Structure 1
Amino acid sequence: MNGIIDVNVWLSRWPARRLPYDDTPALVARLRELKVAQAWVGSFDMHLHRDIASVNKRLADDCNTAPDLLIPCGAINPMLPDWQDDVRRCAEQHGMRILRLTPGYHGYDLAHARFRDLLQRSIDRNLLLQIVVRMEDERTQPPLLRAKDLDLAPLEPIAAEFPTARIQLLNALHSPSAQQWLQRGIPPNVTFDIGTLEGTAGITRILKSLPPTQLCFGSHFPFFTWEAAELKLRESPLPTPLRQQITDSNARMLLQNG
């Protein structure tokens, strides 16, 4: 397969264990072997590090080693002092067009006032906001590194209130709150990836309740094997234009709108 844009990739090292391809040169080489055209990458360091400015500087430097492939997603922790400066640095110093949040590891939910502030700042700077709903299944999390799946219920009215915000939910389609929202209808400014989509022919099934313009290819690599996401494509026979939309066009449109 050629031309795949993977919107859910990570650099650096997961704090609980070593992963295959958890150094940048090896990850870049593997993505090129897989014919990935572009990978939107965040840093595993963002989960526990408090010096977010340094996390983003390292991320930017790593992405500059393969600028045709790696698109940096700046880390933001709105529970830290001066997080607003991190947003500014991402946009102005590093030229980042995407921010990535991990609320489960930073101790807030989507009803928090600082999230609304952050969402408005993403609009003001025309940034895509990625929100990670799950990093790891709770059943396999180390006892001292636990984070529950993010509840999306508070986001439903907020997404409607901020229709010009561009929100992408990563590792979300397994969650009950996402499934409930799907039944009521997802607004067009919210997109999903397939990272934790479960079940045989899952893409075919999810497209019955989600417009194809709102679904992107995301692997959660290297936390998950990249081939697991590829298998989801193979299990759901899709017409070529629809497959191209999910693996490429939708992601390109999100960045072109930025």
Structure 2
Amino acid sequence: MENGIDTTAFLGQWPWRLQASADAASLGVLASRVGVSSLWVSHLASIFGFDTRSGNEALFDAVETDDRLVPFAILNPDEPTAAKELAWAVANGARGVRLTPGYHGYQLSDPSAVALVAAVGEMGLPLHVCARLDDERLRHRRFRADDVPLHELAELVRSQPRLPMVLSGLKATEWDEVRAHVGAADLSNVVVDLWFVNGPVGVIARLDADQYAFGSATPVQSALATAAQLATAAIPADDLRKLSRGNAERVLADAGA
């Protein structure tokens, strides 16, 4: 890739694997290696800590060291101060908001989640929803996390036709199911990241180039696998540009972030 955008990256330590960790310096090395000029990052401590603030504070500190790191604050609508945390994150330079319902233990249909999503839109930020972050077949046997139900994602998409959003951790067949639930609605405000799009290298050639964007889920997953899959895909140059950066740029531009 050249000047790609990684829509799904993280700082911090994945608790269940010793080698799954990243700091600003290692993400910078990775960006140079795979040809990425921008990474949309959150901090894993905002998922696994006692609150989201600590991880987000570490996130904002880290992005100051490398302007390729674009901060996406992780928020939890079940925190009673979620609205204040959103305002604080925006004041500190958040370029987007990331939700991890299956790890924080809420549903997208909960009133608190609906209210937070609406507030994100009012702030002019893109929304990033992680349907999953790890392959459930490799999940630690003592750790419980739930994949976000596809009908909940479909309802979110249907209810927010003008909110630019990224859906992360879906198989291509699962996105097809979400689209089927949504029906004939315009989906130009939604992109799906590529890290969990399973299949051989050639699978990318069969995807809708307007609907997907590069996202690696590094360091939880290996960024090199998805980057290689995209870089070797037999697709037109214009489609490669859309998948590697153009669709991601559209998300930020549409949000005004």
TM over 0.5: yes
Is structure 2 residue 114 aligned with structure 1 residue 116?
yes
Partner of 1:56: 56
Does the residue aligned with 1:256 lie in a helix, a strand or coil?
helix
CA distance in 2: counterparts of 1:125 and 1:58, whole angstroms: 22
5+ unaligned residues in a row in structure 2: which ranges? none
Matches of 2:155 and 2:211, distance apart in 1: 18
Partner of 2:73: 74
8 Å CA contact 1:50–1:80 kept in 2: the answer is no
Secondary structure at the counterpart of residue 155 of structure 1: helix
What is the rounded CA distance, in whole Å, between the counterparts of 1:143 and 1:174 in structure 2? 26
Secondary structure of the residue aligned to 2:97 is strand
Distance 1:21 1:137, change over 3 A: closer
Q: What CA RMSD, in Å, does the superposition of the two structures yield over aligned residues?
A: 1.8
Runs (5+) with no aligned partner, structure 1: none
Percent identical: 27
- What does residue 17 of structure 2 align with? 17
CA deviation digits over 1:148-185, x for unaligned, max 9? 21112023234223222122101112564x33123445
The residue matched to 2:225 in structure 1 has which SS?
Answer: helix
What is the CA distance between 1:190 and its match in structure 2? 1.8
Could you tell me how far apart the structure 1 residues matched to 2:235 and 2:120 are? Answer: 34
In the comparison of the two structures, how many residue pairs are matched?
A: 251
| 2: CA distance, partners of 1:20 / 1:133 | 19
What is the SS of the residue equivalent to 2:13?
coil
Q: CA deviation at 1:133?
A: 0.8
From the superposition, tell whether residues 53 and 179 of structure 1 become closer, same or farther in structure 2 (CA, over 3 Å). Answer: same
Aligned to 1:202: 203
Q: Secondary structure at the match of 2:42?
A: strand
TM-score, scaled to structure 1: 0.90
Task: Check conservation: 2:150, 2:177, Cα contact below 8 A.
Answer: no
Residue in structure 2 matched with residue 5 of structure 1 by the alignment: 5
TM-score by length of 2: 0.91
Question: What is the CA-CA distance between 1:120 and the residue it aligns to?
Answer: 0.6
